[in-house]
Amino acid sequence: MSWVGGKKALREEIVQRFPLSYERYIEVFGGGGWVLFHKLPGRDFEVYNDFNSLLANLYRCVRDRHEELIDSLRYVLNSREDFELIKQALARDNVNLPEGQREDALGRSPASDVQKASWFYQIIRYSYASALTSYGSQPHDMRANFPLIEQAHRRLKDVVVENKDFEKLIRQYDRPVSLFYCDPPYHATEGYYQNIGEDGFTEKDHIRLRDALLSIEGKFLLSYNDDAFVRELYDAPGIQIEAVTRLNNIKQRYDPNCQFAEVFIANYDMTERQRAATQLNLFDFGQEI
């Protein structure tokens, strides 16, 4: 699913840097779930978390009530007026809306978790660049998404969906066999993430995340923008930092080759899976040489 900061372009790079052995997989800043859905399901216990309550509710409904969700989306209209009314109804601070808009929004408050999930999904699909803020003014057949919802339902059937602050989540699920994948809002870009259902991410939160991760028993893999603040934050014994690049999604419209610099940060050897695959190829005697 499209989401601000989604990891579609780097999902394979990320999974290839997972450790060989872990029994708990916890996606701390789940967002669009690109890494979770790309990761093959195994015997490990899986957790999807996001602090955005609307997003967590959407994933729970996809997992547990997907048929009701699909039915609620079957006859929706793609219109600017409906988009604005739904956005207002989902906003946390309806009391701060102008009086006339406030009455419309409160009159359309979602009656159930499924309706709330349906409205939020419409906002994602119909907004410009899935940013949740402005109407995209593009034709979109909602029925084309139904097979994707079915696939997501099957993948999520054994996944725990949480809606917790990252520090509480890490503390709750930390074990020596845990792997935490973290994709927090990037430093100095936090404003892009402050949308419906979100409170924003501060510099203190970046530091709080660092402190939580450096104290765990388990392993963590972190993706960030390549930033001096971030590098200094994780300049600690036993921490690996690897620079990577990807296409810059925002600038590629007018500069197709523009790259965005990112880093992977981990408290373990990020090459162990790749080295194990190389060794397997070298000694796979079932193959002709």
Domain boundaries, the chain: 11-52+163-282, 61-153
**What value does the mean pLDDT take over residues 21-37?**
95
Confidence band, pLDDT 50/70/90 cuts, at residue 111:
confident
Q: Please name which of 147, 146, 127 lies closest in space to residue 137, comparing C-alpha atoms.
A: 127
Is the pLDDT at 275 greater than 50? The verdict is yes
**172 compared with 275, residue with greater pLDDT:** 172
- CA angle at 19 for the pair 13 and 22, rounded to the nearest 5°: 130
**What value does the mean pLDDT take over residues 60-65?**
98
Q: What is the pLDDT of residue 192?
A: 63
**What value does the mean pLDDT take over residues 93-110?**
48
CB atoms within 10 A of CB 259: 13
Q: What is the pLDDT of residue 39?
A: 95
| Structure confidence by residue, pLDDT tens digits, 199-228 | 678 899 999 999 999 999 999 999 999 999
Mean pLDDT of the chain: 85
Phi, psi of 37 (to 5 degrees): -75, -25
Q: Could you give the CA distance from residue 173 to residue 24 in angstroms, rounded to a whole number?
A: 8
Q: Which spans in the chain are helix H?
A: 11-15, 34-38, 53-64, 66-73, 80-90, 99-107, 113-126, 146-156, 166-173, 203-213, 228-233, 272-282
Q: Is 3 annotated as a binding residue?
A: yes
Q: What is the pLDDT of residue 274?
A: 82
Q: Is 235 annotated as a binding residue?
A: no
pTM of the model: 0.85
Estimate to the nearest angstrom the gap between the alpha carbon of 207 and the chain centroid.
20
Confidence band, pLDDT 50/70/90 cuts, at residue 252:
low
Q: Is 64 annotated as a binding residue?
A: no
Give the full edge-to-edge strand order of the sheet including 219-225: 160-162, 45-49, 24-27, 178-182, 219-225, 259-266, 240-247
Q: Which residue is listed with tokens 């609620």?
A: 72
| Structure confidence by residue, pLDDT tens digits, 220-247 | 999 999 999 999 999 999 999 999 986 6
Confidence band, pLDDT 50/70/90 cuts, at residue 140:
confident
Q: Please name which of 175, 215, 186, 196 lies closest in space to residue 84, comparing C-alpha atoms.
A: 196
**What value does the mean pLDDT take over residues 260-270?**
95
Is the pLDDT at 142 greater than 90? The verdict is yes
Indicate the range of 20-29, 73-82, 162-171, 258-267 predicted with least confidence.
258-267
Q: Is 199 annotated as a binding residue?
A: no
Is the pLDDT at 194 greater than 90? The verdict is no
Phi, psi of 235 (to 5 degrees): -80, 85
CA 79, 81, 84, 88 dihedral sign is negative
Is the pLDDT at 30 greater than 90? The verdict is yes
Question: What CATH number does the domain located at 11-52+163-282 have?
Answer: 3.40.50.150
Q: Could you give the CA distance from residue 138 to residue 274 in angstroms, rounded to a whole number?
A: 42
